[in-house]
Amino acid sequence: MPRSPEDYLRDILHAARTIIARTRGLTEDQFFANPVLVESVLYNLIAIGEASNHLPPGVRARRPDVEWDVIIAMRNRIVHGYWDVNPTVIWETVHINIPQLEAQIETLLIDLEEDRN
């Protein structure tokens, strides 16, 4: 059975919330001192990028404030250029962009679900 845009948005939301929960209250040094945590965050960033890539253009167009291309490019960088991922970019993404993305995806998901009803 094919997945709906709402399914992909829920995947993004789950991954964002996982990142937020696992990194809450940590300093940058604490974060990077825990390689298992860093790998978990990278996995969830990959999931966010992959799910974003599967969203139809019409769904992405409803939130032009979300930098979809940047999200997908980050996923590609982690997957295909894993040896050269910039830790500062990961840290900034975790603490600045992911909380913003969570809010943006929540509202987009609500809008889509309301349209279906």
Whether residue 108 contacts residue 29, with contact meaning beta carbons closer than 8 Å, is answered with no
Judge whether 14 counts as a catalytic residue.
no
Catalytically annotated residue among 24, 80, 95, 116: 80
Amino acid occupying residue 107: T
Q: Which of 54, 88, 83 is closest to 71 using CA atoms? A: 54
Whether residue 45 contacts residue 78, with contact meaning beta carbons closer than 8 Å, is answered with yes
d(CA 38, CA 19): 10
Catalytically annotated residue among 75, 77, 95, 116: 75
Which residues have a catalytic role annotated? Answer: 75, 80
